Chain A
Amino acid sequence: MNLQILWFCLVAFFWSGYLVLEGFDFGVGMLLPFLPRDERERGAMLETIGPVWDGNEVWLVIAGAATFAAFPAWYGTMFSGFYLALLLVLFFLIIRVVSFEWRSKGEGTRWRHVWLWANAVGSTGIPLVWGIGLSNLLYGLPIDSSGNYTGNLWDLFTVYTVLGGIAFVLVFAFHGACFLTLRTTGDLFERSRRAARLLAIPAVVVGAGYLIWTVAVAVDRNDKDVFPPVLPAAIAIAAFAAAAILVYLGRSGAAFALTAVGTLSIVATLFTSLYPRVMVSNPDFANSLTVSGAASEHYTLAVMSVVALIATPIILLYQGWTYYVFRARVTGEEIRPPSDVIAGQTGPSAG
């Protein structure tokens, strides 16, 4: 297999890893101000993703670095072009990251309230901007002949791309609600299930609309045939629809698996629609960046292929093990990480 195509697929895979895994973390964050009734439930809800969100976020770091290494021209154009949008992403990312660690470190209700909302705002804002940004790769942006973005912030907003942002937010809210039905108990579980049912229809409708439009954009603006992009799009729509039905039937485990498949298929739809380009230029289609034009040399790709093909399975193994370790439902009354017992008298039961 051509290494350039392999790396195009790997970049898509890293984005999938990020969006499937961090996607439900986002959903949990979005629901954080609405589902829990008291501090115990808020703690329990955050604890469902507490052990894993950090590792999940690293998929983004890897997707970014892989783009830098395998497609330097794509990285340079995309990151400098999305300038202010990325600044916004960084803002959301930072307040969200510190909110996890800092919220419980203060005792006042106001302090906790602020960081709770920081998490919720960050968790909503990040997928919104990524939805808009990734849709723009396909929809086309003004790029000059030397590969520089010539537009401004507002060029990123069109009806299609904003729909992409909203679709990401709704899909992840649904994905996150399904996840919560797997990890919570009691009243919080009941409310999670209600949230999943409430979110199912809008997520399916908006998600399907976005996916169909994406295939149309691929045909119109990227010179693609309807097939193959329509294949992952159909899988995504079917997966989300089936997940919605399963949520109403009370089968949360299967529903969560299907929202994960659906999210993966959204990324697959986008990247299938993009190929053989990585960024479509509009109005000057000829200035579009292509996989072969943006890629690194064979040697670099070969070296990184060896690393990626060894490291990725290992990562999947130990991340999978993490999910296995933390498979039990969270009640909010069980474990006490070191952050809470500061040189206190109560050791862990293991001690």
Chain B
Amino acid sequence: MTAVASTTVDLARLQFATTSIYHFLFVPLTLGLGPLVAIMQTAWHRSGDEAWLRLTRFFGTLLLINIAIGVATGLVQEFEFGMNWSVYSRFVGNVFGAPLAIEGLAAFMLESTFLGLWIFGWNRLPPRVHLATIWLVVLGSWGSAYFILVANSWMQHPVGYKIVDGEAQLTSVWALLSNGFALRAYLHTILAGLIFGSMIMLGVSCWHFLRGHEADLFRKAAKLALIVAVPVTLLQLIVGNRFGEAVTSAQSMKIAASEAQWNTCEPCGFSLFQIGGFTASDPTPSFAITVPDLLSYMATGSFHGQVQGLNELQTQEQRKYGRGNYMPNVRVIYWSMRVMAFAGVLMFLVAAAGAWLYRKRKLERARWFLWTAIVGMALPYVAATAGWILTEMGRQPWIVQGLLLTSKANSPNVSTTWLAISLAFFITLYLALGVTDFVLMRRYARPDRPTPQEELPAPAVTY
């Protein structure tokens, strides 16, 4: 019986992980490419330079292909709470449901409605009003991200609630909305979005340089991408680090696991790479590269700060919540943190090298860099995925930190068979969608694409 129950929970978790990671491949590009397209359209509006209009339309198309699938997969997320996690839904609905509802009412509707106006309003709306619609789309998507992260952050660091009759009840909406964890997570996510947008724009532009296609046009795009990418990737390294401090106070176990820090240390070195040391029975790595004192700084803001170890935290949690294992999967958390951070540093280096080459006017001829930027388009995807694995798996075994265990939150009436069916369904459908999306994005981004007039017998068809 217990074995069946744990399989059910595992399948439900695997499904949530699959669908949300997938959803988040599309969301951040929307968050970042949206404002870049809006900036380009604004530049066209102000200067009248036709090049900006062409760039707006070029990157606008990539944005639209991407948004379609982001919207579709977002619906899955909303339904999934109730479908697979009904106990969780009843437990948190009072608190967690509110930001979701506000998100729909205040942000998502704005984004969707004005997106329709932007796509179809080119000749119908006065240029100034049409320009406003793309900015409202950006406002909607950024607002949407905020409310969703408020909801998620409440699971990481519950605030503004009380527990009555085994249910969380909201006591302060202000506390919920100004949750420090949420504000940091939001900044981190918005920066991630801008990194997505600028790295994709840079990569696509470099692809065009490589083929010697429309270099004058894409030089403008590359310049804009670099102006955004350099400060944003650098800022993200700092913000990510500050975010780590918030996590330390709210979720000490997550930080200890992300460093595979079994015993409390003061000061603590930061492990860059290690072999072994990921289980309680084998706490000491057989090989490790460590930077002295750095972990103390990252976790506490001081080079001499104390970081509690997994073993000590486990003892504390047992005293607080009763017997059980309160540690997440240390190996996964350690590596997801590193993959995210290393990808972040790499992206900064790519952006910085690009800016330097651009200043030297060598960007378009530096083939090594063009290829690096093209391959580098994968980096934001890698970093975002690793980041969410760290955030969500690092919270385990809790679904709501300190309040509800994941193992007790699933829908009791949803059988293993149903879950297996739905998981297989999502994997198949999402793979098919992913491949199609990639093919379409590639086709519309490629330099040697024929003009639309050649490929469509009826050029006036808009749909």
| A residues apposed to B, CB below 8 Å | 38-40, 42-43, 46-47, 50-55, 57-58, 60-62, 64-66, 68-73, 75-81, 83-84, 86-87, 89-91, 93-94, 97-98, 100-107, 147-150, 296-297, 299-300, 303-304, 307-308, 311-312, 315, 318-319, 322, 325-326, 332-345, 347-351
Contact = CB atoms under 8 A, between A and B. Distances in A.
Which of A70, A72, A351 has the most CB atoms of chain B within a 10 A radius of its CB?
A72
Contact of B82 (A80, A90, A351): A80
Contact of B460 (A105, A308, A332): A332
A68 to B, nearest CB: 4
Nearest to B126: A350
Contacts, number: 316
A42 B462 CA distance: 10
30 contacts: A47-B462, A50-B120, A50-B462, A51-B117, A54-B113, A55-B116, A62-B108, A64-B79, A66-B101, A69-B98, A69-B101, A72-B97, A78-B82, A80-B411, A93-B75, A97-B72, A148-B412, A296-B170, A300-B169, A311-B109, A318-B113, A333-B460, A336-B123, A338-B119, A339-B462, A340-B456, A341-B452, A343-B214, A348-B123, A350-B122
A342 B57 contact: yes
A349 to B, nearest CB: 6
Contacts of A76: 82, 86-87, 89-90, 93, 411
Nearest to B176: A303
A325 B120 CA distance: 10
Given A62-B109, A326-B120, A43 B461 contact: yes
Nearest to B92: A72
B452 A79 contact: no
B324 interface: no
A54 to B, nearest CB: 4
A300 B170 contact: yes
Contact of A311 (B106, B112, B113): B106
B290 to A, nearest CB: 46
A341 B123 CA distance: 13
A94 B73 contact: yes
Contacts of B458: 38-40, 43
Contact of B58 (A79, A337, A342): A342
A55 B104 CA distance: 11
A90 B109 contact: no
Nearest to A87: B422
Given A97-B68, A102-B65, A326-B120, A83 B460 contact: no
B64 interface: yes
Contacts of B73: 94
A134 B83 CA distance: 16
Given A61-B104, A84-B418, A308-B105, A68 B97 contact: yes
A154 B153 CA distance: 38
B61 A347 contact: no
Given A50-B116, A338-B122, A343-B214, A98 B433 contact: yes
B74 to A, nearest CB: 8
B460 A43 contact: yes
Nearest to A103: B463
A107 B98 contact: no
Given A340-B452, A341-B57, A344-B452, A105 B90 contact: no
A40 B463 CA distance: 9
B71 interface: yes
B87 A55 contact: no
B53 A51 contact: no
Contact of A334 (B69, B82, B101, B123): B123
A297 B87 contact: no
B84 to A, nearest CB: 7
Contacts of A304: 98, 101-102
B65 A105 contact: yes
B459 interface: yes
Contacts of B79: 64, 79, 86, 89-90
B460 A93 contact: no
Sorted from nearest, which 10 A-B pairs have the closest CB atoms? A72-B93, A79-B82, A69-B97, A43-B461, A76-B86, A101-B68, A55-B113, A46-B463, A338-B57, A80-B411
B422 to A, nearest CB: 5
B322 interface: no
A337 B461 contact: no
B113 A322 contact: yes
Contact of B112 (A46, A54, A299): A54
Nearest to A81: B413
A86 B97 CA distance: 19
B90 A343 contact: no
Contacts of B461: 39-40, 42-43, 104, 332, 340
A322 B116 contact: yes
A303 B113 contact: no
A318 B132 CA distance: 13
A347 B84 CA distance: 49
Contact of A51 (B91, B120, B460): B120
B36 to A, nearest CB: 14
Given A75-B93, A94-B73, A350-B127, 12 more contacts: A42-B463, A68-B81, A76-B93, A80-B82, A98-B433, A296-B94, A297-B169, A300-B170, A337-B120, A339-B119, A348-B53, A351-B48
B100 A344 contact: no
A65 B103 contact: yes
B360 interface: no
B82 A296 contact: no
A83 B239 CA distance: 40
B436 interface: yes
Contact of B122 (A91, A149, A335): A335
Nearest to B214: A343
B5 interface: no
A73 B113 contact: no
A150 B120 contact: no
